[in-house]
Amino acid sequence: MDKKKSRNFKVIDMLLLCLAALPIIIVMVLKILTEPASEGISLTGARIFFTVKMPLQDMYITEAQINSWAVILAIFFLCLYFTHGLSQKANTKRQIALEWIIEKTEGLVNGNMGTAFAGFATFIAAIIGLSAFSSLLSLLGLFPPTSDINITSGWALMVFILITYYKLKCGPLGYVKSFAEPVAFLAPLNVISEVATPVSMAFRHYGNILSGVVISVLLGAGLKGLSSTVLGWLPGALGEIPFLQVGIPAILSIYFDVFSGCLQAYIFAMLTMMYVSSAFNIDEFERRKLKKQQKRLNNYINSED
On the question of pLDDT at 1 being above 50, the answer is no
151 neighbors 265 (Cβ within 8 angstroms): no
CA torsion 16→21→24→26, rounded to 10°?
A: -80
Residue (of 124, 271, 123, 281) closest to 199 by Cα position: 271
* Cα(64)–Cα(47) distance, integer angstroms: 8
Q: How confident is the model at residue 79 (pLDDT cuts 50, 70, 90)?
A: very high
Mean pLDDT on 235-245: 65
| Per-position DSSP letters for 194-208, written without gaps between them | HHHHHHHHHHHHHHH
What does the pLDDT look like over 199-233, one tens digit per residue? 999 988 888 888 877 777 777 777 777 777 776 66
In the chain, % of residues over pLDDT 90: 27
Residue 86 one-letter amino acid: L
The Cβ of residue 76 has, within 10 Å, a number of other Cβ atoms equal to: 14
pLDDT digits (tens, 9 = 90+) for 81-135: 999 888 888 778 888 988 999 999 999 999 888 888 888 899 999 999 999 999 8
Domain boundaries, the chain: 1-27+52-88, 99-305
Distance CA 33, CA 66 (A): 15
Helix 63-83, helix 121-136: angle, nearest 10: 130
* Residue 60 phi, psi dihedral angles, 5° rounding: -100, 125
